[in-house]
Amino acid sequence: MLYPPIAPFASGMLPLDGLHAMYWEQCGLPQGYPALYLHGGPGDGCVPACRQLFDPGFYRAVLFDQRGSGRSTPRGELRDNSTAHLVADIERLREHLGIERWLVFGGSWGSTLALAYAQAHPDRVSGLILRGIFLGERSEIDWFLHGMGQFFPEEWQRFVAPIPEAERGDLLAAYYRRLTDPDPAVHLPACRAWGRYEGACVALRPNADAAERAGSEYVALSLARLEAHYFVNRVFLPEGALLDGLARIRHIPAAIVQGRYDVVCPPATALRLAQAWPQAHYELVEAAGHSLWEPGILEALLRQLERFRDAHLAGRV
């Protein structure tokens, strides 16, 4: 279903401050319609296959690794790393690339960041395509730490195994202490355990590759540390802020794609967003979990990208 593999036509490192630098790349048509891809996590980073979502004959696709993630430096860094920082980074990248407005595409944590960015800069967003909705609320964080284990009990037992029983009353705090310990002998095993847990729960059918990637040292170091950092800080947003801010973006064309059996970000959250935002197109994909690469999810997202392309070419957006 994906477009053929493609290499970037431009890439670089954008200094953000005295500490962080952002890796970015562009692919597709240099004079094409700008589209921004926001990866999940936080802390995951982009992979080359993400470039293949965008029609290279229409889109000028922009991908970047968020602070502390992927090829951005320093990897796994928690200082000066918050939702407000990431929103400001997106604006800096837009200005750096000379883009007036762009379609914003984000899944999981990427949907959170897409909504936060659009509400902060609605005049810079021409459309939104959102997947696997995460609003950053307390109940969603608690679900990640405890609820997913109702469906993946073996994986949850492996997840909590590194934490002594006396500390499991506050699992997030116990993990955060280990993940932020400067000793690699302490933080790396905790990172891998966290990453393996998440990777094992993302797909409807077992996906050993996803679990192995998420549990690898390279991915897990930034994924686990940054997710725990954002969870401890309640994603740096007031409870309910993204739903409260919908009035600022109701006019923006939007699509919400959600897997029926998404265990990481259950569909109840996507339904809340869709009901609060009836102007958005809402699609619940049966026989699909959380992952972008689930066949039904991927098909729906590609269809939404094509719908936006065709609407633009017809002059409707």
The count of C-alpha atoms lying within 13 angstroms of the C-alpha of 243, restricted to the half-sphere facing its C-beta, is 16
Helix (H) or strand (E) holding 61: strand 59-64
The amino acid at 10:
A
Catalytic residue from among 111, 126, 262, 291: 262
d(CA 40, CA 35): 16
Selecting among 55, 65, 290, 291, the annotated active-site residue is 290
| 8 Å CB contact between 76 and 225 | yes
**CB of 202 within 8 A of CB of 131?**
no
Burial 210-231 (b: 16+ CB within 10 A, else e): bbebbbbeebbbbbbbbbbbbb
Q: How many residues does the chain have?
A: 317
- At 28 the three-state DSSP class reads strand
Active site residue 262: yes
Strands 21-28 vs 102-107: parallel, antiparallel or unpaired: unpaired
Preceding amide of 42 cis, omega within 30: yes
Catalytic: 290? yes
Q: Which of 82, 108, 126, 291 is catalytic?
A: 108
Q: In what order do the strands lie in the sheet with 125-131?
A: 10-15, 21-28, 59-64, 33-38, 102-107, 125-131, 254-259, 281-285
Name the nearest CA neighbour of 40 among 3, 69, 1, 71.
69
Residue 119 C-beta-side C-alpha neighbours within 13 Å: 16
- Residue 251 annotated in active site: no
Give the catalytic positions in this structure: 108, 262, 290
